[in-house]
Structure 1
Amino acid sequence: MTFILQGETPSKKNSRIMNTKTKRSFPNPRYTQWHDLAIFEMRKQIQDFQAPRPCSIVITFYHGDKRRRDSDNGVSSIMDMLKDAGVIVDDCWEYVRHTESWNEYDKGNAKCEIEINEYKDRGNV
Structure 2
Amino acid sequence: MKIAIGCDHAGYPLKVAVKDKLLKEGFEVVDFGTDSVESVDYPGYGKAVGKAVADGEAEKGIVICGSGIGISIAANKVKGVRCALCTSVEMAEMSRRHNDANVLAMGARMIEQDLAFKIVDKWLETDFEGGKHLRRINMLDE
Structure 1 length as normaliser, TM-score?
0.32
More helix by share: 2
Structure 2 length as normaliser, TM-score?
0.29
